[in-house]
Every structure is written in structure tokens, then in C-alpha cells.
Homo-oligomer: A and B are copies of this chain.
Amino acid sequence: MQGTLTQDGNSVTATRDLINQRLASGDFFWLDLDGIDSEAHDVLLTSFHIHHLAADDAQHFGQRPKVEDYDNFTYMVVHGAGLDEKGTLEVHFIIAEHYVITVHRGNCPPLDAVHERQARRGVDNVITPQFTVLYVMIDHLVDSFFPFLDVFDNQIDDLEDAILIKPTDQQLGTLFDMKRNLISVRKVVTPQRDMFAAIISGVTTIPGVTDEGQRYMRDIYDHLIRISDLVDGYRDLLSGTLDTHLSTVSNRLNVVMKQLTIIATIFLPLTFITGFFGQNFAWLVTRITGGWAFIIFAILFELICAVALAVYFRKKGWLGADSA
């Protein structure tokens, strides 16, 4: 069992005996577990009398945000933005009258935030001791989406600009990855938002959340709506960016094809003319021996053709400054 037991601002490494002792005393404590091994699982079942469905869930990360009411405790799963691009940061809460258990895995910055807050304010917990742990951690988890989405915002803008400059296949791969990331963020933000809507409307109650505590929950809910709106907006923009890519490529193709067509339209006729006077008809060859014949047929005729075509293209707007 890898855990930390905090009481009155003092943290010690958690052991089964220590937990049993604190539970017996009836004073409030906070147990933080870094993953659930078989010992921790056993402690949850036997010492805390946690329902085995909840104890099982705590062992299996990848749960969706949810709040579940049991007889003697409330089970809660909250997600924050992931530390790297692989998935989200998931924390499970077991909230009872005399204790709060948090379950995380590996590095978890919101934990430090709680310790720092407790250090700063000493033991004077805001509202209720459960609520301090709960609010500070959830607030930290939820707000971690904002910097993540800021980066996302800039990425979309950069991508859009890059596409307008030069559309590439790599950008399509990036767009797909961003879409996938956004879907995975959305998958946790939407149920999280709805979960807090239920909490602030009073449909769901959490031990230790007073009327005053509800206001803090409303603040978290407000942030979640903003995040959810942002995610929906980015989703729209991403699909707009994909459309821009396709349209830009098509535009480029048009430019390329115009160039090809101009070249072909100018040189195919001219080459035909040179081919014409390269034929071995003796009758023709003997009649175009003079300098005037050369100037008229080979020089002037070709020039007239070339100029006529250039004029034609300029009139169609294919040549000149605005031909892109």
C-alpha cells in the first residue's frame, strides 16, 4: 500500500494499523493512495467497509467522471488535463463523514496544491475538512484544462495559417490527432459538467458540502461550462480547418493547371507551325527559300500567334498580378 495519511496538516506514510487506529478515533483524516494494490484493496473493503463495486472501480482507472452514492460514503471520479498528450489525469474520491480517500496514479500536481493550501492556512479548513481536500483538488484538476486548451487554440491558428501558406499531408495527420485529443477531452468534460450541474442543483449531495460549499461548486461548474464551450468551439474550428485544407489544395491545383494550360496553349500551336514548315514537301520547301518567307512565316507568324494568346490570357485574368 502506497499512501499518505494527513490529519490536522500532518502527513505520515499510511499503514493498515494507523488507518484502523484513526478510524477508531473518529477524528477526520485524509488518506491519499497512489494506486490500489491488493493490500489497499483489502483495507478499503475491511477497514473502511467500502462497497466492493466502488473498491473495484478504484482499482481500474479509465473511469468516466461520475458521482455515486453509497450507504456510508460517496464515490466520485474527476478528470483533469493530462500531463502529457496521452489521456487525462484521473483522481477518484471516496468521501465519508470522517475521512476522505483520494486515489491517483503517479505524478499528480493537485495533491501538492492541497498540501500547500493546508500549510498556508494551517489547520483552519474552509467550511468542512472534507471540502477543503475536495474543492482544492477538483478546482486544480478542472482549471488544468485551460492552459491545455490555450495551447490547442494556438495550434489551430498556426495550422490554419500554415495550410493557407502551403497545405501538406502532415497537416492532415496533425488535424486527425487534434480531433482525437479533443474527443477524448470532450468525453471527460461533458459528463463532468453534467455531474456538477446535478451537484449544484441539489440532485446529488456530497458529504461535507454545505450551502456555502455549493457556491464553490457553482464556481467549478461555471469553469466546466466554459471549458465545454471552448471544446465545442474548437471542434467546429477543426472541421473548418480540414475544409480549408481541401479548398486550399484545390485552389493550388487550379493555379498549377492554369500554368500547364497556358504553356500548352502557347507552345502546342507554335510547335505545330514549326512542324508544318519542317515537312518534306518539295513543292513547299522550294517556295520558302527567301529571307522574306522566313521572316513572314517563321518569325512574324509565330510572334502574332504568341501575342494573340498572351492577350487572350490577360483578358481572362490568368496572367498578371491577380492571377493567383
Identify the A interface with B (CB < 8 A): 51, 53, 63-64, 66, 68, 70, 160, 164, 166-169, 172-173, 175-176, 179-180, 183-184, 187, 191, 215-216, 218-219, 222, 225-226, 229-230, 233, 236-237, 239-254, 256-261, 263-265, 267-272, 274-285, 288-291, 293-294, 297-298, 317, 322, 324
Q: B164 and A233: CB pair below 8 A?
A: no
Please name the residue on chain B nearest to A165 by beta carbon.
B169
Q: B264 and A268: CB pair below 8 A?
A: yes
- Give 20 A-B contacts (CB < 8 Å), ordered by A residue: A64-B222, A64-B229, A166-B317, A169-B324, A179-B240, A249-B254, A252-B254, A256-B261, A259-B261, A259-B265, A260-B264, A263-B264, A263-B268, A271-B272, A274-B276, A281-B288, A281-B293, A281-B294, A282-B285, A283-B293
Query: Would you list the 7 A-B pairs with minimal beta carbon distance, nearest first?
Result: A274-B275, A282-B289, A267-B268, A277-B279, A260-B261, A281-B294, A283-B294
Q: What residues on B are CB-neighbors of A278 within 8 Å?
A: 274-275, 278-280
Q: What residues on B are CB-neighbors of A63 within 8 Å?
A: 222
Q: A247 and B257: CB pair below 8 A?
A: no
Please name the residue on chain B nearest to A157 by beta carbon.
B180
Q: A219 and B169: CB pair below 8 A?
A: no
Q: What residues on B are CB-neighbors of A260 within 8 Å?
A: 257, 260-261, 264-265
Please name the residue on chain B nearest to A259 by beta carbon.
B261
Q: A172 and B164: CB pair below 8 A?
A: yes
Q: B283 and A275: CB pair below 8 A?
A: no
Q: How far is the CA of A174 from the CA of B262 in the complex (A)?
A: 29
Q: What residues on B are CB-neighbors of A252 within 8 Å?
A: 254
Please name the residue on chain B nearest to A284 by beta carbon.
B294
Q: A244 and B172: CB pair below 8 A?
A: yes
Q: What residues on B are CB-neighbors of A169 within 8 Å?
A: 164, 248, 251, 324
